[in-house]
A and B are shown apart, each in its own frame.
Chain A
């Protein structure tokens, strides 16, 4: 008798567990959908005509058509903006990786006087409200005549992405045994050569994380290009999107197509590297 109630009790607990499990999963799924639905909504409305959109903003397109996208490519302003964005991101990423690797390496391998100060110095860049610096950077660039050229936007992109890259690289190098450099050194390789030929390749996992994250932030950056670039020819993708929305005020499906085109590189990267992106962004953030 006693045994039976125990079993009933256990069954009941199991059942309530299953129910709780279903409810919790359903809630989380629902939450995940609210994170996902707006972009999806944007996508399927971008392949509607304006008329179909005005009729019902929820319905899936009856006759999906891509004329919104074709229209954007025909106007061709996007190509110049893409070039500018790719140009800026590429240069910025090269510098971010090179400079952060040096600093991260030194932080991981050496204890020296002033290390704490230097650490704090770079930490400052992680915590500084970047957009409070829009005007200071603008004024400095204006004074030294660096506004409005193809390279203008690169230095701010580099320095404000360096801190997080430094801390990621430092963490990784710390986990590599020092004996690797030492044995190479004994074999007669110079320290710099060892760094480039041996340490850098070992760091490739963290370097690729840095590259991906830097691409996302530089591609998405809006504030600095906005204040530093006036010449329409120099517009990066976010600035292009802003101009486009000004010209297409009421063409909502058209605007959605442009927004989607602007996001495609980021979305593709996320599809392929989401684990790496999540790990990199959270690890870099916690350092602070």
Chain B
């Protein structure tokens, strides 16, 4: 009865509560996208802006540098999946078992790099990759593999991997903690039952934990795809997308076009394409996961 009174006259109240947040959010988060969509249908020449339908999109489709940047986003997503996500899952399973001593301490240490500013991490790794004083080259020379030492951030054949690795390093702990949160939601009785039935650690991992964590995996895949498309700071700070555009990602390529080449409307086009491709990829990841989950249930 009482509940009827407080949550009544609802429409006015809900409107009253929501109007400011929704307006602010729409104006600063959604409107820029519409603005950029409109802007991307123009061309600019020496700051003269003129409506030109899909001319920029036509340029974009035939722009090898754009596709190279997109390819780099995909490489980052792929490497992070193989190194970061899989490693994080294994570490999380280990950390979850009572088996390990000092679990909380280890967890906090592993998570630590996540809270550092991306710009600090990028500078730090630029030092680590430094040709003369870097950790990597010094270690390589120290163990007699000096031949492998190189200018990691100036060599087009390795630079994208060199730029990816700091991100892998920085955010592995983040995914460990996410997997751990998923693991604590699993009923321990189920695991005990599996153990009693004679399943060893590995079997428990594959046949019991993995299916039970489908929801977490779904979230992790969406998240890591979104993160891989959002990458900006690390390549921008470490290499400016260089040498050339060999380590550029979509966001970096857009900024390069606007601020270094003065291609303002083309920058909007790249941003729009980036948004479309991101949501396309996220959708693919979601559908794939749902397909796998449904098939397992059958």
| Interfacial residues, chain A to chain B (CB-CB below 8 A) | 20-21, 24-25, 27-29, 31-36, 38-39, 41-42, 53-54, 57-58, 95, 99-100, 102-103, 105-106, 109-110, 112, 118, 121-122, 124-125, 127-140, 143, 155-156, 158-160, 162, 178-179, 181-183, 185-186, 191, 216, 219-220, 222-223, 226-227, 237-238, 241-242, 245, 252, 255-256, 259, 262-263, 266-267, 269-270, 274-275, 277-279, 281-283, 285-286, 288
Contact = CB atoms under 8 A, between A and B. Distances in A.
A139 B120 contact: no
Interface residues of B, number: 96
B111 A99 contact: no
Contacts of A288: 219, 222-223, 226
Contact of B271 (A53, A125, A136, A255): A136
Given A102-B17, A130-B230, A278-B111, A159 B25 contact: yes
B255 A139 contact: no
B219 A138 contact: no
Given A110-B10, A134-B232, A285-B178, A38 B124 contact: yes
B236 to A, nearest CB: 8
A223 B5 contact: no
Contacts of A105: 17
B117 A227 contact: no
A110 B231 CA distance: 36
Contacts of B237: 222, 242
A6 B211 CA distance: 35
A27 B100 CA distance: 10
B115 A270 contact: yes
Contacts of A223: 232-233, 236, 251
A185 B18 contact: no
Contact of A158 (B11, B24, B255, B282): B24
B251 A134 contact: yes
B196 interface: no
23 contacts: A28-B110, A39-B124, A54-B133, A95-B24, A99-B24, A106-B18, A121-B22, A127-B226, A129-B275, A132-B254, A132-B275, A133-B33, A134-B251, A137-B32, A140-B32, A182-B2, A219-B117, A226-B236, A252-B127, A255-B123, A256-B127, A278-B107, A282-B174
Nearest to A137: B32
Interface string B74-111: 00000000000000000100110001111001111111
Given A182-B3, A223-B233, A24 B94 contact: yes
B291 interface: no
Interface in B157-209: 169, 172-174, 177-178, 180-182
Nearest to A114: B14
Contact of B25 (A41, A138, A162): A162
Given A132-B274, A135-B268, A32 B106 contact: yes
A279 B222 CA distance: 19
Contacts of A140: 31-32, 35
B45 interface: no
Given A35-B110, A241-B120, 16 more contacts: A28-B95, A35-B112, A38-B135, A57-B134, A131-B233, A132-B229, A133-B29, A133-B32, A134-B251, A136-B33, A227-B259, A274-B108, A281-B174, A282-B180, A285-B174, A288-B222
Contact of A134 (B180, B216, B255): B255
A137 B28 contact: yes
Contacts of A226: 236, 255
A20 B101 CA distance: 12
Given A241-B120, A286-B181, A178 B275 contact: no
Contacts of A262: 117, 119-120
A278 B10 contact: no
B116 A102 contact: no
A180 B1 CA distance: 14
Contacts of A191: 6, 13
B114 interface: yes
